[in-house]
């Protein structure tokens, strides 16, 4: 969990004042934790709220993976070449059988 020094945390005005923050994983985690804390404060703490928070965070992560991370990784793979050549060849052999010269 990101333990941002108190003087670097934002107050009641939300994200205002965070423009001077260096965008790090810790700052992002703090911002997300603050949003969740605010949601729980408004909704109350019970099993349904815990499930809603988990579901919401998983949904955001899924969309981020699908729309941002995966296309970025695919573009970098196309630009720089596959890293997992050997592993993918082994997977191919396991799933479809070894490739022989006659099949190539």
45-79 pLDDT per residue, tens: 999 999 999 999 999 999 999 999 999 999 999 99
Mean pLDDT of 35-42: 96
Q: How many helices (H) and strands (E) does the chain have?
A: 4, 0
* Whether pLDDT at 13 is above 60: no
- Beta carbons within 10 angstroms of residue 45's beta carbon: 10
Any idea what DSSP says for residue 21? S
- pLDDT, position 79: 96
* Whether pLDDT at 103 is above 60: no
Work out the burial of residue 2: count CB atoms within 10 Å of its CB; fewer than 13 is exposed, 13-18 middle, 19 or more buried. Answer: middle
- pLDDT, position 66: 97
Using a cut of 0.85, tell me whether the model's pTM lies above it.
no
* Whether pLDDT at 16 is above 80: no
- Beta carbons within 10 angstroms of residue 30's beta carbon: 20
């Amino acid at each position: 969990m990101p333990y941002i020094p108190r003087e670097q945390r934002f107050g009641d005005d939300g994200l205002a004042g965070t423009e001077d923050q260096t965008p790090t994983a810790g700052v992002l985690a703090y911002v997300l934790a603050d949003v969740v804390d605010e949601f729980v404060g408004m909704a109350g703490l019970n099993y349904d709220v815990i499930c809603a928070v988990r579901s919401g965070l998983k949904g955001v992560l899924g969309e981020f993976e699908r729309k941002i991370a995966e296309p970025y990784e695919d573009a970098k793979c196309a630009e720089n070449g596959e890293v997992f050549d050997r592993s993918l060849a082994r997977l191919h052999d396991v799933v479809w059988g070894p490739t022989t010269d006659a099949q190539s």
